Amino acid sequence: MDLELIRNLVKGVEDKIIDYRRDFHAHPELSWKEERTSKVIESTLSGLGFENIRRGFDNTGTGVTADITGKANGPVIAIRADIDALPVDEAVDEPWRSSCEGVMHACGHDAHAAILLGVAHVLAKIKDNIPGTVRLIFQPGEESGIHSGAKQLVSEGVLDGVDAICGLHVWATLEAGKVGFRKGPIMASADIWEIEVKGKGGHGSRPHEAVDPSIAAATLISTAQTIVSREVDPREAVVLSVGTIDCGTAPNIIPEKARLSGNLRTTSPVIRDEIPDRLKRIGEGIGAAMRCDVKVDFIPVYPVTVNNGELVDLFVEVAGDLVGKDALEEMSIEMGSEDFSFYQQKIPGILFFLGMGDPTKGTDAQHHSPDFKVNEAVLADGAALLSGLALGFLKRK
């Protein structure tokens, strides 16, 4: 594998990558509505000679996959980029700012899509020297939670015949020029819990004739935290948060029902499986003690993102040669989540972070914020790293 060739090829398409990014940024589309984005990607891949091009998943016109093969019957690696935007009003004033009111690429998926198109240009130039097949996955719906794009694409067979998968995420809290990696769990799971507490409504002046669900709900909120503080090994990473509290309609009315919802995040698949029963036990116990009926629902959303060790070792070697060993930084676990984890449940995978934080450029604003801004200076490195990793895997396999 000629890494110097990869560097030169990426340098030759760097301006194209930036142009793609700006175009996607100016025309953001929400999850499962990425019609224009998908058409641009499909047209570009077709022009580059990619094969088996498919546009449209989950009975929509969104999402694109395509293959490029050098050596027939060789190994297959997939590279994934997510392409959806967020319901955010953009505060950054640039010529390519969002043209869609209330919709913005506030997480960097425009950069991911552009970087992967850059990879496509590189692979097209060296097709005859690819020791296998590279499948590009431009995934819709990463931000859609329960209706995960990755989960849907896996169910529709995008990993059929694929040996491994890789991807990246631009990262505002990591210094520009740094590349973050980690073996094993790197991002947390993200699940939703919902609790309904049913009592008996009444007048605020006669509480003894009612059964107050608000007291039971308040007790449940505080007691649920003991799951983390007293039932989980303190060396594990677990967050149990309350997001909504819906109870009552007037100050002098004891309500009939209280509803709570929240979020569970952990980096342990085992703990993730145990929490629902523990939360149900506490909820039903408090309900019984306080004469209320309690119903606990647990809604799985994203699994833990777990990087394959051998792929990480290969990535460190390739990245060290491409961007220098000093640029590599072993990450601590991020409690954010990624539906890339659904791919990793099926085949070995690696997700790494492309640092882009630079306060002098304003590219250190939080993801999902209206001030979020992509550092275009790092995009070429992203394309080189994905190209090098994919080719390195195929060559060794």
Active site residues: 302, 376
Residue ranges of alpha helices (H) inside the chain are: 3-26, 35-47, 109-125, 149-155, 213-231, 269-289, 309-323, 341-344, 379-396
Q: Tokens 């569970």 identify what position?
A: 264
> Quick one: which of 351, 322, 315 has its CA closest to 167?
351
The CA distance from 133 to 116, in Å, is 15
The CA distance from 216 to 225, in Å, is 15
Residue 296 near residue 171 (C-beta atoms within 8 A): no
What's the Cα-to-Cα distance from 35 to each of 56, 118, 192, 278, 358, rounded to whole Å? Answer: 9, 20, 29, 42, 32
CB atoms within 10 A of CB 244: 9
The CA distance from 368 to 337, in Å, is 13
Residue 97, exposed/middle/buried by CB under 10 A (0-12, 13-18, 19+)?
A: middle
Q: How many CA atoms lie within 13 A of 371 on its CB side?
A: 9
Residue 363 near residue 379 (C-beta atoms within 8 A): no
What's the Cα-to-Cα distance from 271 to each of 140, 156, 264, 266, 281, rounded to whole Å? Answer: 29, 29, 10, 7, 15
The CA distance from 329 to 397, in Å, is 26
Q: What are phi and psi of 98, to 5 degrees?
A: -55, 135
For residues 260, 368, 302 and 52, what is the CA-based torsion angle, rounded to 10 degrees?
140
Give me the amino acid identity at 204.
G
